[in-house]
Amino acid sequence: MKRILSILTVMVLSASLTAPSLFAGNDNRRGTAGATELLINPWARSSSWAGINTSCARGIDAFFSNIAGLSFVEKMEFVYTNTMLYGGRSGLVSGATINSFGLAFRLGDAGVLGAYVMAMGFGDLQKTTVESPEPGSNGTVSPTFMNLNVAFSYSFTNSIHGGANVKIITESTDDVNATGVAIDAGIQYQTGENDELKFGISLKNIGPALSFGGTGESFTVVNEAGNSMTVEFRSAEMELPTCLNIGLSYDLLFDKWNQRLTIAGNFTSNAFLRDNFGLGFEYSLLDMFQLRAAYLYQTGIFDGDNRTTANTGVHAGASVILPLNKEKGTSLSLDYAFRTTALKGTHSIGATFKF
């Protein structure tokens, strides 16, 4: 496993050097990828500062930002987050929600094994057909997107950490579905007297194209002779939304009240979307109260007619950490995040249990 992670580390470093040619994309490719739910951050903590913590992600939140950060799980960690997309049931996309469950535990002195499930639903949508276009006359359909992730992270030294994540992707309705697989890999490096300077690279969503299939892509017709035949449409393949993250952060530490101010920056090179630039901070007081805020910029984000993302850039949130048993290191964290959008804001509420 250590050798495999070393190989993945070399791959990630190589990808970062060739990012302009591999991930730059063009206007003709934007919006053509499938499984774009992989680009939505399901965790409250990291989404509260736009997921720009590629260099300093810690624990289960690292599944989205940089899987290398999973290696910082001390014993065992469980996280649950509920995200109400674009205003939840009162928003334009009524009932669009994400529920995520994650569990990770330490294996030996240097390894951490983790898994999480993300389920995305859209509520009940009215079916319509060409013959019966009236809403409500054909029943409803409830699309579901689900991602199952299994990851292993390893600390090569006190300064270098790496990880890999395998994810199974499913998208389905009652008669159409698609299944795919992808891999994430990442590394983190930290240095300084108190490990205050951190650098991270993560390569995400590498895998084969996926396509839809099922009975919903076929129909039966009767010709002039009275013979019936079934015609099936073949769905075009969709590539996965591959992206490369490069991040840097620095911790400002203050002895009084055990304060910490982390300033982080991040660059995301997307293969099928415009590139993102993020800058934000996390403030911690007494290791019990944390505030986060960030801005995620991409070309055209201020132009409502040409913007290619629903998010408008501002992210913010907070956490309250309750120590349950200081000797055993048991704690419960309540987390909240808000993302501004062109529709209605996206809210995430979660809980992190360390034991």
225 or 154, higher pLDDT: 154
Looking at residue 343, what is its pLDDT? 76
Model confidence pLDDT, tens digit, residues 97-130: 999 999 999 998 999 999 999 999 887 778 877 7
Domains of the chain: 2-354 (2.40.160.40)
Beta strands in 9-159 (DSSP E): 76-84, 97-107, 111-121, 125-126, 140-141, 144-155
Query: Structure pTM?
Result: 0.87
Assigned token pair, 257: 């009240």
Q: Residue type for 207, please?
A: G
> In angstroms, rounded to a whole number, what is the distance separating the alpha carbons of residues 271 and 30?
8
Q: Can you list the alpha helix ranges (DSSP code H) found in 102-188?
A: none
> In angstroms, rounded to a whole number, what is the distance separating the alpha carbons of residues 56 and 42?
17
Half-sphere exposure of 175 (CA within 13 A, CB side): 8
3-state secondary structure of 85: helix
Q: Is the pLDDT of residue 145 over 90?
A: yes
> In angstroms, rounded to a whole number, what is the distance separating the alpha carbons of residues 303 and 312?
10
Q: Mean pLDDT across the stretch 37-53?
A: 95
348 Cβ partners below 8 Å, 6+ apart?
A: 42, 43, 44, 47, 48, 81, 82, 83, 84, 317, 335, 336, 337, 338, 339
Looking at residue 27, what is its pLDDT? 63
